[in-house]
């Protein structure tokens, strides 16, 4: 598990974590399978891997919920998508194109890179897909970098 860099999960697992965060509570396996149009047995296997990584708790026949670490990581994943989408719209893509393109490569962009992009963009509060939240690593880490420049 590499929560510091943000590169520890596949793109599909990232989408599952963001979906669980969006629902705001316990989510049944069948809900996730339906939302992503995949077989429930595939979801169960993938959720077991995410559970082993420490991001969710999975109670068979009841559903899954984010652990504290999972919530923090999922919030970063949402922020990463929103920062990248906003960056792409500022460079000429429509909001729909930006969202689609960011989804294609976002799982390859580290937390450190996102924090630097966010700093360069002036720590925006609103992205094309919603509010952008900031954590101490983003704000404090870049304040120190600015002081050193």
For residue 121, what is the DSSP state? T
Residue 54 token pair: 């420490």
What local confidence, expressed as pLDDT, does residue 2 receive?
A: 43
**Mean pLDDT value of segment 1-19:** 75
Model confidence over 105-145: pLDDT tens digits? 998 899 899 999 999 999 999 988 889 988 776 766 544 44
Q: Which CATH architecture does the domain made up of 11-66 adopt?
A: Orthogonal Bundle (1.10)
CB distance 66 to 55 below 8 Å: yes
Residue 114 token pair: 């996102």
Residues 6+ apart with CB under 8 A from 12: 36, 46
**Mean pLDDT value of segment 38-64:** 91
Model confidence over 61-93: pLDDT tens digits? 889 999 999 999 999 999 999 999 999 999 999
What local confidence, expressed as pLDDT, does residue 11 receive?
A: 83
Same fold, 11-66 and 72-148: yes
pTM for this predicted structure: 0.83
Q: Where are the domains of the chain?
A: 11-66, 72-148
Class level of CATH domain 72-148: mainly alpha
What local confidence, expressed as pLDDT, does residue 149 receive?
A: 37
Mean pLDDT of the chain: 86
């Amino acid at each position: 598990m590499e929560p510091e860099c943000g590169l520890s999960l596949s793109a599909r697992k990232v989408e599952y974590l963001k979906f669980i965060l969006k629902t705001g509570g316990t989510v049944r396996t069948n809900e996730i399978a339906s939302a992503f149009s995949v077989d429930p047995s595939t979801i169960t296997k993938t959720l077991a891997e995410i559970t082993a990584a420490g991001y969710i708790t999975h109670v068979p026949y009841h559903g899954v919920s984010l652990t504290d670490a999972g919530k923090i990581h999922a919030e970063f994943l949402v922020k990463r998508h929103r920062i990248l989408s906003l960056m792409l719209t500022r460079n000429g893509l429509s909001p729909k194109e930006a969202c689609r393109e960011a989804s294609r490569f976002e799982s390859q962009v580290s937390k450190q890179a996102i924090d630097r992009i966010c700093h360069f963009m002036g720590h925006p509060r609103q992205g094309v897909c919603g509010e952008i939240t900031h954590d101490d690593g983003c704000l404090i880490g870049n304040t120190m970098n600015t002081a050193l420049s």
